[in-house]
């Protein structure tokens, strides 16, 4: 089984791992000893709102799912996928290896390779940044009853797009909404200043979100993110996991 080799070379913003052209050539033959490549953290951990700039933001619903990324290359097309910490080839062997490593997530590739990938490619192909050497589309995989990383086999699963990353970094929140409005993207629940009152209103459940929100803005040309979770979600974790609830709060 072959692996998708991931170089340690960062993207230009210096934070997130990219894939070197040399590694691309080495990964094409099916000669690697593993079907998975461990990566640096593909999607960043987000601080709470107290560590975010008190500026203008767009707040998106935070979904209680599993973060799955999908990788597109100008030559290879949609060639890889994985969780926050690993990456597999998006072929029969890679999918089988992913399913073995991640019980409960077996349906995510089926959902993506159905109408989702075609619809996504159709929209992105009309955008300037699609010509980038590599794009990473970040999604949440979930069903109606997903909770704390667990998914019911009886649920109908879906993918919700939460971010797109090019060689220049993440799309700005405004561009993300503008360009992908016709795709299943995270719901916008608020536009305005990130204030203490807004954070309190989210925690008290005044925005109709189950888990919380992710606030995104720009500072010095870079996208920042911050999360705010509801008190009701905290209580649900405490009831489900007792004194280990904080293990699932992150």
Q: What is the pLDDT along the chain (250 residues), one digit of tens a residue?
A: 433 333 333 333 333 233 332 333 333 333 333 455 555 668 888 888 787 877 899 999 999 999 999 999 888 889 999 999 999 999 999 999 999 999 999 999 999 999 899 999 988 888 887 777 789 999 999 999 999 889 999 999 999 999 999 988 999 999 999 999 999 999 999 999 999 999 999 999 999 999 999 999 998 889 999 999 999 999 999 998 888 888 877 6
Q: For residues 159 and 193, state if they share a domain.
A: no
Q: What global pTM score does this model have?
A: 0.83
DSSP bridge pairs for 142: 158
Torsion angle in degrees (nearest 10) through CA of 156, 116, 138, 59: -70
Residue ranges making up the domain that contains 57: 46-63+188-250
Domain count, the chain: 2
What does the pLDDT read at residue 124? Answer: 86
Task: Mark whether 52 and 153 lie in a shared domain.
Answer: no
pLDDT of residue 112: 98
Q: What is the pLDDT of residue 35?
A: 52
Pair 177, 193 in one domain:
no
Question: For residue 170, what is the domain's CATH number?
Answer: 3.30.470.30
* Distance in angstroms (rounded) separating the CA atoms of residues 103 and 100: 6
pLDDT of residue 183: 96
Q: Are 71 and 121 in the same domain?
A: yes
Whether 150 and 163 map to the same domain: the answer is yes
| Domain co-membership, 73 together with 59 | no
Question: Does one domain contain both 197 and 124?
Answer: no
Nearest CA-CA partner of 199 in 235, 173, 226, 228: 228
Q: Are residues 192 and 161 in the same domain?
A: no
Can you give the pLDDT at residue 221?
A: 86
Q: Are 175 and 154 in contact (CB under 8 A)?
A: no
Q: Are residues 237 and 139 in the same domain?
A: no
| Same domain membership, residue 214 and residue 165 | no
Closest residue by Cα to residue 40 from 88, 73, 84:
84
**Which residues neighbour 162 within 8 Å (Cβ) at sequence distance 6 or greater?**
60, 63, 67, 138, 139, 140, 185, 186, 214
Together in a domain, 147 and 23: yes
Q: Which residue has the tokens 């203008």?
A: 56
């Amino acid at each position: 089984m072959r692996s998708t080799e991931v170089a340690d070379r960062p993207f230009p913003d210096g934070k997130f791992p990219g894939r070197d052209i040399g590694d691309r050539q080495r990964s094409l033959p099916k000669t690697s000893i593993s079907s998975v490549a461990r990566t640096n953290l593909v999607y960043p951990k987000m601080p709470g709102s107290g560590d975010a700039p008190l500026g203008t933001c767009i707040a998106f619903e935070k979904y209680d799912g599993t973060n799955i990324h999908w990788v597109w290359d100008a030559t290879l097309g949609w060639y890889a996928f994985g969780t926050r910490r690993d990456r597999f080839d998006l072929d029969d062997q890679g999918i089988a290896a992913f399913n073995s490593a991640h019980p409960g997530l077996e349906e995510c590739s089926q959902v993506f390779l159905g109408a989702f990938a075609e619809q996504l490619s159709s929209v992105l192909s009309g955008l300037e940044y699609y010509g980038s050497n590599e794009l990473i589309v970040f999604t949440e995989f979930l069903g109606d009853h997903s909770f704390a990383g667990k998914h019911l086999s009886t649920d109908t699963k879906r993918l919700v797009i939460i971010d797109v990353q090019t060689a220049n970094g993440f799309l700005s929140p405004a561009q993300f909404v503008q360009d992908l409005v016709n795709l299943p993207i995270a719901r916008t629940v608020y536009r305005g200043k990130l204030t203490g009152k807004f954070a309190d209103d989210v925690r008290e459940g005044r925005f109709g979100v189950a888990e919380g929100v992710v606030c995104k803005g720009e500072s010095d040309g870079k996208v920042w993110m911050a999360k705010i979770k509801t008190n009701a979600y905290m209580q649900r974790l405490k009831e489900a996991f007792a004194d280990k609830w904080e293990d699932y709060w992150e």
